[in-house]
């Protein structure tokens, strides 16, 4: 089935209604059979790194210039058919931006990336379930698509324990349920477990099931990374991650991180790893055309 959306909208509210109808179909398909073409989240830094790779130019439009792709940052201007997206790491900063009317009218979706880190206020970390709901309410009041991506490490702030068994605690605390309850798109940050394919797939499946039980209309994505927290993974690992989870999710957030304040341990960016995955999917694009 081909999903076609108009590319000109008269208001954010109209865009929200049309996009949510599209995403509702994707969510319904995802419970029984994966939609043919994945939904993507990708940021401008990752796109700019990929644009320097041989062969990416012929793939970029097919993968990312469509209304099933959320592009974060300036690169969205180069992809007129994508969903321009802005990220906030705190509800407080999002609320200030709304009150100051500083979010560009071109922005169609907002992402709440709340994690156990310096960029999310401690109060929001500890009471993550409440703030994820508040973020969604405010997003929808303003006619914005709401994307939520709570990191698994947020459990350390909620229950006060260390990093051990974070994935199990994430599920036991009902974070997937709370995140998805009033979200349009929920992303499972499972990328830290990519090197253990069976564990990765099991966690994604369990989180996706919990999310859809809370909100059958939510579109569920999973996180992929070329070097999660500095862990080197191969392109084959990413291919396997997609094969193992494609039946459970509607798409992926493709991360190509490098060392910096957002990921101190990530090391040198590895876009070539992402290219292995994209090349594999592009080589079988005929399977996505119906």
Domain 12-288 class?
Answer: alpha beta
Candidate from 21-25, 123-127, 257-261, 277-281 with smallest mean pLDDT: 21-25
CA-wise closest residue to 155 among 134, 135, 186, 179: 179
Token digits for 270? Answer: 């590895």
Coil, helix or strand at residue 8: coil
pLDDT tens per residue, range 35-61: 478 999 999 999 999 999 999 999 999
* Lookup: tokens for 203: 């966690």
How far is Cα 191 from Cα 186, in angstroms, rounded to an integer? 14
Closest CA to 70 of 60, 59, 85: 85
* pLDDT at position 77 over 90: yes
Distance separating alpha carbons of residues 5 and 234, to the nearest angstrom: 35
The dihedral through the CA atoms of 22, 48, 109, 214 has a sign that is positive
Alpha-carbon torsion 16, 22, 26, 29, what sign?
A: positive
- What's the mean pLDDT in 200-226? 98
E strand or H helix that includes residue 87: strand 83-88
Exposed/middle/buried for residue 288 (C-beta within 10 Å: 0-12, 13-18, 19+): middle
Which run of H or E residues covers position 278? helix 271-283
Whole-prediction pTM: 0.89
pLDDT of 29 strictly over 70:
no
């Amino acid at each position: 089935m081909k999903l076609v959306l108009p590319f000109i909208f008269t208001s954010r509210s109209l865009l929200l209604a049309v996009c949510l109808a599209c995403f509702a179909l994707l969510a319904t398909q995802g419970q029984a059979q994966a939609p043919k073409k994945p939904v993507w989240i990708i940021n401008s830094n990752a796109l700019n790194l990929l644009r320097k790779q041989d062969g990416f130019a012929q793939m970029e439009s097919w993968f990312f210039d469509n209304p099933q792709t959320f592009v974060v940052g300036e690169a969205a201007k180069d992809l007129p058919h994508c969903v321009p997206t802005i990220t906030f790491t705190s509800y407080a900063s999002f609320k200030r931006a709304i009150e100051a009317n500083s979010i560009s009218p071109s922005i169609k979706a907002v992402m709440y990336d709340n994690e156990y880190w310096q960029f999310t206020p401690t109060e929001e970390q500890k009471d993550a379930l409440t703030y994820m709901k508040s973020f969604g309410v405010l997003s929808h009041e303003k006619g914005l698509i709401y994307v939520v991506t709570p990191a698994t490490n947020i459990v350390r702030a909620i229950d006060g324990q260390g990093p051990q068994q974070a994935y199990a605690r994430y599920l036991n605390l009902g974070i997937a349920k709370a995140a998805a309850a009033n979200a349009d798109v929920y992303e499972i940050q499972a990328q830290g477990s990519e090197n253990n394919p069976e564990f990765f797939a099991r966690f994604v499946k369990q989180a996706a099931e919990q999310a859809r039980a809370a909100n059958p209309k939510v579109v569920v994505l999973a996180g992929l990374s070329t070097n999660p927290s500095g862990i080197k993974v191969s392109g084959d690992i990413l291919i396997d991650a997609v094969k193992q989870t494609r039946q459970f999710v509607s798409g992926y957030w493709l991360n190509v991180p490098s060392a910096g304040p957002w990921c101190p341990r990530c090391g040198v960016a590895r876009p070539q790893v992402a290219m292995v995955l994209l090349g594999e999917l592009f080589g079988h694009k005929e399977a996505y055309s119906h």
